[in-house]
Amino acid sequence: MRQTFGMAIVSAMVAVTMASLINSVQTSAQSKEAPRKVLRHVVLFKFKEGTTKEQIKEIETAFGGLPSKIDTIREFEWGTDVSSEGKSKGFTHCFFVTFADEKGRDVYLPHVAHKDFVKLVGPQVDDVCVVDYWTQK
């Protein structure tokens, strides 16, 4: 009887180990699948001469606050130009707003929080460049 009980335990341990291994292989295979594409909304600002550091800081803070006000924003990041190539053409700020799809962007564009931001930044911007793209890997 002990041998049978022992064999049952060994069989159960093998079954659990095999199930764990199969799950691990499936998870590994899934992680190697192409990541889901996302829609990036890229905004570049060239500020008017005379725009103060305080005004720029207010704009940075306001843009950074949009993800908490518009739930279709999946990711947000920004930075200032540090290129050594000298080809920024006066654009100093780059903002990336990420959406799951066009519907998310279509909620964002007319959203009151976005419109309020546009009113804030508009008088300080000499030029703006906006590019939307689907991520590719």
The confidence score (pLDDT) of residue 44 equals 98
Q: What angle do CA 89, 90, 92 make, to 5 degrees?
A: 120
pTM: 0.74
Residue 42 CA to residue 46 CA, distance in Å, equals: 14
Chain segment 56-114, per-residue pLDDT in tens: 999 999 999 999 999 999 999 999 999 999 999 999 999 999 999 999 999 999 999 99
Q: Which residues of 20-33 are buried (b: 16+ CB within 10 A; e: fewer)?
A: eeeeeeeeeeeeee
The confidence score (pLDDT) of residue 3 equals 55
Return the DSSP state at 33: S
pLDDT above 90 (res 18): no
Phi–psi pair at 76, nearest 5 degrees? -150, 135
